[in-house]
Structure 1
């Protein structure tokens, strides 16, 4: 349940004692001090759950990142030549149909296709969105290898699964002859298949593209003319397809429900509804079917959190989102019971990341582009032959820069500029504010950045300059209430529940990390967690209190 904090769970259970989440907390093991990966972006967050590894071993630092060890996608290449560096963008641009016409606008605006490989909707026109259940992932046709970074040793594109530095729980289970399945928001999360898998260790991957145009059940685009991740009513509809996939798998069929294949040993999905509700300032929560069979949406309401009687609580959109995910989780639990699988199924509920800030009064949005341009201009004054020092970086609620000059002196130059710079931003009411240190609280540069992540200085994957923001700072326009990717408590303090046979009810307050999910899953399946390379390299442990449940299997 992306975005969901432990504090959200506490609030919801206290007010909904008969909810599915409340029942799981009473009958399962609740870890109240669970932390996501750092950085807490979706890709490193999800990869941590699936591998047991942090970025230092997985090599995954962000959804959109850069590496000094690769060449740019489509670049001319001579095998064996030293890498020139390039963007590593494993995201919706990698879809085989990454650009299809907007179904409303007559302009040149486009979206990636809901059906990323074009096998379901002709020309990407998803006028019957429920047909997306027929979508199948094909590692040879669902993605466009021309968008992948290039391996300078071979001059071949690097697939998302081969970019990983660690194997995954799906690989270990698949190699043991167990069936695996997963549902997520981008086809490029085929990376969870793991290196050397040929993209085939997840037997049933269902990943409709969340960045595609949101279309109501009758085939009419939402009037907001946006993607599934910017209208919370649409996000619920979108998550609903993945819920149906899980329900079909519980019943022993593939995600489409068409073929009897047996219930997978590992399966699950990623909810986006809570995350969207936390970030969007105003959005409708509900899709409404009218008497004539067409659809409309409820009136927009406030997203994020609000202060009520001195208490910071979920606002109307977020409260509705929590109700939704709890109800869908309840459907899954009921499906497990109907299928007679309660005595053999463990349920793990966690999140890839949180969201920060939770308190809207702390929000300061800052555009990072002018800061990057100013740093490059200052550098060019004394280095006219290298006018672009910062060549890449994605700044949500953290700062990360990749440099054309990887010397310590260059990294220190960026650090000093950022620390001495006074940035202009907007508060939650879109009023101007001035922020010291470019909005940062701490900066690591060069060797210090490598040491922060625990990697060699010449690793090539980690950011050359990395910064923790002052709580509330988001490098974006004023449309957002929060973001993820950073390292403040709101970014990383997520829920963690484990419930199943032989797991005694307990509240565990000792610190745990989401990396511990992967070895825990393998242990519960009777497989050796040490088959995970991240467990070998990082010593990642099974979650406390689960070893006995694995023995009682």
Structure 2
């Protein structure tokens, strides 16, 4: 569950309203080539690594079994936070945005990678006068010029081998016809404009520092922040494109070897950046002050029942299976390559490495898995609503169901949200378990369902907020909403398996051999990065709103 101490929603709303008027005290504009004196800086570079799906228990297991590994050196050579939690929902977008803004979804305005806004108009709207707001905000591969191509539609020849030649201007690969429309300007809303607060990259750029990042969709240009220029070099090959050399129709996540190959492209990009080049190694620009990447291969090893002749997921509660063990070793090897390159370039003494995860994955106990097809549940809800309200249309405007349930409704009244809640909590049926055999479920697989004003309070926003889900459901442990039997884990929920991620800060500015057992949040990474670089954490909008603290060192 959302662990940040409750704050009055009126205070949060007031703070958000004031964000635009506040001045970042340590971010005076400077040329990208102007040396910047940073008082109190303990690092010149911060390398941030997110290993999607990785749990703290996975890291502890690997380090215990491989005490001489790169991951072990990283964890024991710095500060390891053994009780770190990511955002709720525990999805890639809010998880990554939290690490780089210091804010949770109620503050950043980003609840998932595919959501709904009651303040925007649908993509393609051209006549905005009098148009009724209400639009899907899709920040997935669907925004690409060509989502079937690894270069997102840039048109490179020789793919996938030429992928490092992909442009670092990801926004240029976004198809504006697929973006929601601002009713005030009647213009498309790019991801960076949708974000309500600034990012670490925004602050670093204003201080004259170089920035770079590598991620899985061009929609991650959202990390540019409202300035639209936060990330100078964004390398974002499309992970859901057709995987060259693998079965037709499969993307880079459907075969774990393909995911490792995909991650390898981003590793090469970061190695080039460590060496002082842009991601393509074309231009010598200097090692970025803030840079990094996310790994996907651990996540697919947890979600696939099997791949490459190896069983996926966990053998028992928290015990990695052979495919996951292979991928932990893969990540360890690549982290070792980063550490070695930093040493070779004599940057190890001036670089802080931060390791964490956007999200975990649930369940880690294979016996707990219950796969439920959410389609019939939502169809039934719509049918029941129309039966009770002759002439009405569907009640569900948009739904995102992985191992949580997020619903946006066409009718946001208390009566409608309570109707939906009562219907869903009364539904029972049959799903299937880890072996594919029938497995009954109750209450639509839900443990707790927050509706209407309760959902708004859960996320610390005012009722009627344009972006907050009208219903947010925390599932029973082990429930994954999916048709068929193609996955054995998911993320997005609020269980410990979703939230309990590793967090290690190692290198310049970090004491060695420290273990912090108190509860921390991955949102604290953002102000910590700025503090390490000698910049003011209060320059981050979300830090001021949520009073997000720098990570403790003891």
Report if the CA contact (8 A) 2:84-2:502 is conserved. Answer: yes
1:229 aligns with 2:253: yes
Deviations 1:473-493 (A, max 9, x none): 000022111000000000110
Deviations 1:403-444 (A, max 9, x none): 000001100000001111113211111111211111000010
Secondary structure of 1:40's counterpart equals coil
Kindly report which structure 2 residues correspond to 1:300-339, keeping only aligned pairs within 5 A, or say none. Answer: 300-307=309-316, 312-339=318-345
Alignment partner, residue 268 of structure 2: 244
**Which is bigger in relative contact order (C-alpha 8 A, separation at least 6)?**
2
Q: Matches of 1:447 and 1:434 in 2, distance apart?
A: 31
1:184 aligns with 2:220: no
One of 405, 423, 434 as aligned partner of 1:428:
434
Alignment partner, residue 218 of structure 1: none
Alignment partner, residue 256 of structure 1: 280
Alignment partner, residue 41 of structure 2: none
Alignment partner, residue 532 of structure 2: 524
Report if the CA contact (8 A) 1:377-1:387 is conserved. Answer: no
Following superposition, the deviation at residue 312 of structure 1 comes to 4.2
Alignment partner, residue 173 of structure 2: 142
Following superposition, the deviation at residue 82 of structure 1 comes to 6.6
Report if the CA contact (8 A) 2:171-2:219 is conserved. Answer: no
222-231 or 491-500, larger mean C-alpha shift: 222-231
Q: Matches of 1:137 and 1:249 in 2, distance apart?
A: 12
Alignment partner, residue 49 of structure 1: 99
Alignment partner, residue 72 of structure 1: 122
Alignment partner, residue 160 of structure 1: 191
Following superposition, the deviation at residue 138 of structure 1 comes to 2.9
Secondary structure of 1:326's counterpart equals helix
Alignment partner, residue 363 of structure 2: 357
Following superposition, the deviation at residue 76 of structure 1 comes to 4.4
Alignment partner, residue 97 of structure 1: 146
Report if the CA contact (8 A) 2:269-2:280 is conserved. Answer: yes
Alignment partner, residue 291 of structure 1: none
Report if the CA contact (8 A) 1:77-1:152 is conserved. Answer: no
1:399 aligns with 2:408: no
Following superposition, the deviation at residue 205 of structure 1 comes to 0.7
Alignment partner, residue 105 of structure 1: none
Alignment partner, residue 510 of structure 2: 503
Q: Matches of 1:230 and 1:152 in 2, distance apart?
A: 39
Secondary structure of 2:448's counterpart equals strand
> 5+ unaligned residues in a row in structure 1: which ranges?
99-111, 122-126, 216-220, 285-299, 547-553
Q: Matches of 1:414 and 1:327 in 2, distance apart?
A: 48
> 5+ unaligned residues in a row in structure 2: which ranges?
1-50
Report if the CA contact (8 A) 2:277-2:284 is conserved. Answer: yes
Secondary structure of 2:400's counterpart equals coil
Report if the CA contact (8 A) 2:117-2:137 is conserved. Answer: yes
Following superposition, the deviation at residue 84 of structure 1 comes to 2.1
Alignment partner, residue 470 of structure 2: 464
1:279 aligns with 2:303: yes
Secondary structure of 1:141's counterpart equals helix
TM-align CA RMSD? 1.3
One of 489, 512, 517 as aligned partner of 2:496:
489
One of 61, 66, 71 as aligned partner of 1:16:
66
Following superposition, the deviation at residue 225 of structure 1 comes to 4.2
Report if the CA contact (8 A) 1:119-1:135 is conserved. Answer: no
1:133 aligns with 2:139: no
Secondary structure of 2:234's counterpart equals strand
Deviations 1:323-360 (A, max 9, x none): 00000000000000011111110000000000000111
Alignment partner, residue 205 of structure 1: 234
Alignment partner, residue 30 of structure 2: none
Report if the CA contact (8 A) 1:406-1:464 is conserved. Answer: yes
1:35 aligns with 2:95: no
Report if the CA contact (8 A) 1:181-1:203 is conserved. Answer: yes
Following superposition, the deviation at residue 153 of structure 1 comes to 1.3
Alignment partner, residue 296 of structure 1: none
Following superposition, the deviation at residue 152 of structure 1 comes to 1.2
Q: Matches of 1:32 and 1:427 in 2, distance apart?
A: 31
Alignment partner, residue 47 of structure 2: none
